[in-house]
Structure 1
């Protein structure tokens, strides 16, 4: 092996341009706060995430390259002159400079700065290659092979330049941290304003209830008073009629009995006195009746005003609901279009006795973990690269003790986005036996605590649609369930056999796709979807391998189309929720697959490899993305590179003998997390 072989080794750092800051929409207040700082800075700043990763990875490689020689595993050089003089080792100084140059090769805004940076990096790379092939003996050419001191001085000079470059990057990191603090303050203020609006809404609802109760009490009081007056008026009219009959009888008797007039005068006087009392009472009753009519008129006017106030409050509530949807979407956009969550499966059964605890995976924070390759890992062949540490950062990291409820709490906001009219995709990735199916579908169906992301998502959707009915929203849900087995699409809900399923574009302009002959069932209750999931689970292709006693042999995709109509505001929305459980990657030698299992494993690995190619093309912003190389990427085309909000679960197997697969999964997840697919747009019918 010759020194030139080191130039063919794949760098342990991320590829140039792959670690980039996700662009985030900035508010007007944030732009005003940062304007003066940008003028002082005098030049665009790099992303703090890029600098932190570049520094951490560069420092890791520098620390690993100690004085001495490191054995390389890459292909040997074809130059016979150099091959004759080497012993298959290279000096660590050259590796440090190559690693640092790769870490500094990042995307710069602006076409002119990008070309200048690429030119500078190419010159640095050319210089490093010349140093690797033989070293510079001075300005006049190569140093002789025996001039070790001169070659060491050249490497020390390059190392000093690298350390100066790292100091400059540290300074840029501090400036970016200051900007992040300003953004955090704006987000905190926005959260506080949302809380105040919710409190005002609750107070308004309480005031409406109080006014409704007061109106009801006043109506009851008025009804009782009217009934009492009616009964009193009827009594007075009855008394008046009786007196009139008596008066007529007395007059007839007076006519017939003139001789008894003197005796009847006293009776007439009494009747006259009673009549006067009745008339006075009748006048008083009429006055009270007039007052009651006035009160009824006043109450009617007040009731009309209260109805107008209630209508105004309803309009205000609808407006606040619209604003909440806009703010919720802004929060999701700030978090990024493709988000990545990492979850570590706990040790199970015999694994606890064999390994005791998880030693090679350390969770340092809610969004960071460390993978350590120790001498105890059986996957390390020949004792190479022992005690290496790999740092990874994602949007969220869940340890082995994390419950299904805590995991779903993090993705519930994306489910709300689907109700608001956006396309949402959640898929699980990882090696076989890492817990993907448990995360998506859950364990025992009857155990609520073990329920996975799919049943919990359905429960939240129905709860939200029921709650939004009071605000005028009416939703229609349609569900379908399919699997991709050996590059063939199968409908898990189909009742007819021998149907052909193809992936077609909805229209020539957009990126939405659909599957022909796929059975789509309308659902109105949570029980209907639970029954649907049971049917799909029975038809899902699973088998036992040496790596997993119940290994999924296909990729499953649950699709839920949500259409909403607000009868009060005539607003409409239409969103699609895709929940994907990918089959696990596996090494055929370890799984012991033969015959049909071997064919399945090859098809799974091929589709996952194509998924990686698509992610790489998106990360590098290639003009052509190979979506059609597999059915899986073709079906997920809109979720990976179109109008969708996407979340990926990367599930990790805690066994130490799966170290290499775990490292590959984390590296793939990092590439996905660095992809920017654009801003999702709300779909309105």
Structure 2
């Protein structure tokens, strides 16, 4: 399609061909060498270059993505493996620690003779026993040290008792051999009693020693039975807390036993001291007896001294026996107390065992659940790694395919680049030939253009007369930022000649106008529709263009516009000055400008020095209504017009309302008079152009007008109401048309009558908030369009 278009532009036929391609060494390869084909080749080259660039970019992006994915996959795999290994190692260590604790408890239970169900260690939880470190509490170590000290003390007491026994035997033997015989029954009985008392004390000591050893074994068993609190679980904390309390209780019992043993030892030492004293006295008595026997004669009666001594010794021995009996009673009492405490200790041990077994079972279950969870996470991670690897493999294959395509594209581009210079040269030659033909064909275009322009003007005026003298254009402004922020909705739909509006209650109505400009329309588009009407004043017609609508609907923007986006007023003057310049050899044009406003039904001259204090009146003349005393300024350049418009806008009355920050409080009228003298025919054509920016129709409840603004709004509504009455009277073809009811209608009487061309721009808001005002504006525009004005006439005269 593009090739055919190029052939048509260059005037080539399908049979025309370019010279053979010289890039192939003069080979006779056949190709379509027309200008269209050359252009297609160049387009193909550009397309291939673009595809090559896109392929390179895609290859680079794919390589970057592949590198990132590989790095990400490796790093994530390493991190996952490390974290999983650490967690598995921690769980295995925990299980192994629990297993070793269980083994230690089972061993101690076996030593204590308690029946239990042995626990078998799972293969996955086996660790070296060296990893478990079970340490006793400070109270347990202190109790064991005290027991060892008591054991050492008991052994020392046994040794001393043995030595005392030997000394007692020697002293008794010496007393029996050296002294004179005393009554054998009393002496032997005393020795027997002393020996029996000593043996009884030794037996009690041995029995006490056995009891202490048993208590020591039970305490060690209790200490070993208390497992250390494992870190992951919270429940064993109660066991570890209860174990120190049990050990502390045992330590208190040991302290009590130690104190009682110390008392017994003290009693034993006192008895030993008494025995030593008696032995010394016995030795002294034996010595005295030997001396007495040697001094006395043989056969004399027995001495009385030794008998008294023996009596005293026997009395002391009886005291010692009494003390030993008391000590034995205390030891018996201690034995009973120890047995009761051992019973209590057994009960506590049973409770601790049951608690430890329960907590151990909980720890086992937690360890099993943790291991299963870790296995599940490991499986998920493995599957994710497999998916990533598959994705990498797929991307690698795609990358290889893209590289192959890139190589093919490079080869194609190379071929096209070689052919491009020759094709460009051939295309240039064809274009030069075609341009030359077109230049020859344009020789008589200027004359044809002038003839066509005259015919077009004649046809346009005829069309305008057939359509009617009042044309209506509709323009809808865009939605403002404040309306978007308030959540306003658009209620308008557009076609080039129709506008449909949906009201608050679902009411839908459609209006038809000469042209409808939507929210995206530009000032250029609007003026292109107005321009032929503006230029008709060069032929002596009177033209009136006015903008109507509610406050804030875009009337001033349409008529005046900002400096960067000029409106109808300025564009009309630009067009007039351009036309004046184009026909200055045939016509002598004079342009004058006046600017006025109607404020509170008073006509003000905006070009006067004291514009605010001027109050002009409308008068009727032979050529129509006019305003006496109005400043009329002749202009020669467009810059002069801009200065006048700037001065008039400065003097115009504008104030802020709730609907518009720069609301026009008056009707602004830019009047342009043009007098054109045809130098050849000496005919003078007088044309007028009224450009009217009406003040906004508004509701007092919405604008928030008060005081002076309220008065202004009332006068604006009054003049617009009078304009509506005039339009209604003209539409219904009434005999009496109330032009004099308002200064506005009286001033525009010629424009609203039957000998001028009139155009209305209805400006509307597209949001639901202004739906009622938009309805009123469109209804008024529709009534205005129905008015039949009659044929417009030229104002021409012979000079």
- Structure 2 length as normaliser, TM-score? 0.43
Q: 2:546 & 2:709 partners in 1: Cα distance?
A: 23
Q: 2:571 & 2:465 partners in 1: Cα distance?
A: 23
Aligned to 1:125: none
Q: 1:589 & 1:634 partners in 2: Cα distance?
A: 29
Matches within 5 A, 1:20-169: none
Q: CA deviation at 1:655?
A: 2.7
SS in 2 for 1:618: helix
The root-mean-square deviation of aligned C-alpha atoms, in Å, is 2.2
Aligned to 1:396: 515
Note if 1:490 corresponds to 2:604.
yes
Contact 2:488 2:769 in 1 (8 A): no
1:222-266 Cα distance to aligned partner (Å, 9 max, x none):
xxxxxxxxxxxxxxxxxxxxxxxxxxxxxxxxxxxxxxxxxxxxx
Note if 1:457 corresponds to 2:572.
yes
Q: 2:677 & 2:445 partners in 1: Cα distance?
A: 26
Q: CA deviation at 1:550?
A: 0.9
* Change over 3 Å in CA distance of 1:645–1:340 after alignment to 2: same
Matches within 5 A, 1:611-626: 611-626=723-738
* Change over 3 Å in CA distance of 1:683–1:320 after alignment to 2: farther
Contact 2:602 2:615 in 1 (8 A): no
Q: 2:449 & 2:525 partners in 1: Cα distance?
A: 31
Q: 1:207 & 1:680 partners in 2: Cα distance?
A: 35
Q: Aligned to 1:645, which of 743, 748, 757?
A: 757
SS in 2 for 1:355: coil
Note if 1:412 corresponds to 2:527.
no
Q: CA deviation at 1:626?
A: 0.2
Gaps of 5+ in 1: 1-201, 210-312, 378-385
Note if 1:516 corresponds to 2:646.
no
Q: 1:432 & 1:331 partners in 2: Cα distance?
A: 34
Aligned to 1:337: 469
Aligned to 1:353: 485
Q: 2:670 & 2:535 partners in 1: Cα distance?
A: 17
SS in 1 for 2:584: helix
Q: 1:499 & 1:442 partners in 2: Cα distance?
A: 26
SS in 1 for 2:789: coil
Aligned to 2:301: none
Note if 1:526 corresponds to 2:638.
yes
1:597-646 Cα distance to aligned partner (Å, 9 max, x none):
00000000000001101111001100100000000000010111231100
* Change over 3 Å in CA distance of 1:324–1:403 after alignment to 2: closer
Contact 1:404 1:452 in 2 (8 A): yes
Aligned to 1:481: 595
Aligned to 1:503: 618
1:499-528 Cα distance to aligned partner (Å, 9 max, x none):
441101112xx6x11001000000010000
Aligned to 1:181: none
Aligned to 1:442: 561
Q: 1:489 & 1:630 partners in 2: Cα distance?
A: 11
SS in 2 for 1:489: strand
SS in 2 for 1:339: strand
1:431-466 Cα distance to aligned partner (Å, 9 max, x none):
0010100000002x2x1xx11110111111111111
Note if 1:549 corresponds to 2:658.
no
* Change over 3 Å in CA distance of 1:460–1:387 after alignment to 2: same
Q: 1:324 & 1:203 partners in 2: Cα distance?
A: 26
Aligned to 2:459: 327
1:260-300 Cα distance to aligned partner (Å, 9 max, x none):
xxxxxxxxxxxxxxxxxxxxxxxxxxxxxxxxxxxxxxxxx
Q: Aligned to 1:371, which of 478, 495, 501?
A: 501
Contact 1:339 1:646 in 2 (8 A): yes
Contact 1:505 1:514 in 2 (8 A): yes
* Change over 3 Å in CA distance of 1:664–1:207 after alignment to 2: closer
1:107-160 Cα distance to aligned partner (Å, 9 max, x none):
xxxxxxxxxxxxxxxxxxxxxxxxxxxxxxxxxxxxxxxxxxxxxxxxxxxxxx
Gaps of 5+ in 2: 1-438
Note if 1:654 corresponds to 2:758.
no
Aligned to 2:701: 589
Q: CA deviation at 1:323?
A: 5.1
Note if 1:663 corresponds to 2:793.
no
Give the structure with the larger helix fraction: 2
Q: 2:642 & 2:792 partners in 1: Cα distance?
A: 30
Q: 2:779 & 2:614 partners in 1: Cα distance?
A: 39
Contact 2:527 2:568 in 1 (8 A): yes
SS in 1 for 2:793: coil
1:532-587 Cα distance to aligned partner (Å, 9 max, x none):
11001111100011111111000000000011112123233110000000000111
1:162-211 Cα distance to aligned partner (Å, 9 max, x none):
xxxxxxxxxxxxxxxxxxxxxxxxxxxxxxxxxxxxxxxx99993599xx
1:67-105 Cα distance to aligned partner (Å, 9 max, x none):
xxxxxxxxxxxxxxxxxxxxxxxxxxxxxxxxxxxxxxx
Q: 1:513 & 1:575 partners in 2: Cα distance?
A: 14
SS in 1 for 2:677: strand
Q: Aligned to 1:206, which of 443, 453, 477?
A: 443
Contact 1:500 1:517 in 2 (8 A): no
Contact 1:325 1:420 in 2 (8 A): no
Q: 1:411 & 1:643 partners in 2: Cα distance?
A: 19
Q: CA deviation at 1:325?
A: 4.1
SS in 2 for 1:469: coil
SS in 2 for 1:206: coil
Q: 2:587 & 2:675 partners in 1: Cα distance?
A: 10
* Change over 3 Å in CA distance of 1:393–1:570 after alignment to 2: same
Matches within 5 A, 1:597-612: 597-612=709-724
Q: 1:466 & 1:204 partners in 2: Cα distance?
A: 28
Matches within 5 A, 1:203-282: 206=443
Contact 2:541 2:688 in 1 (8 A): yes
Contact 1:369 1:397 in 2 (8 A): yes
Q: 1:568 & 1:338 partners in 2: Cα distance?
A: 33
SS in 1 for 2:647: helix
Q: 1:668 & 1:207 partners in 2: Cα distance?
A: 50
SS in 1 for 2:486: helix
* Change over 3 Å in CA distance of 1:515–1:204 after alignment to 2: farther
Contact 2:488 2:767 in 1 (8 A): no
Contact 1:499 1:517 in 2 (8 A): no
- Structure 1 length as normaliser, TM-score? 0.50
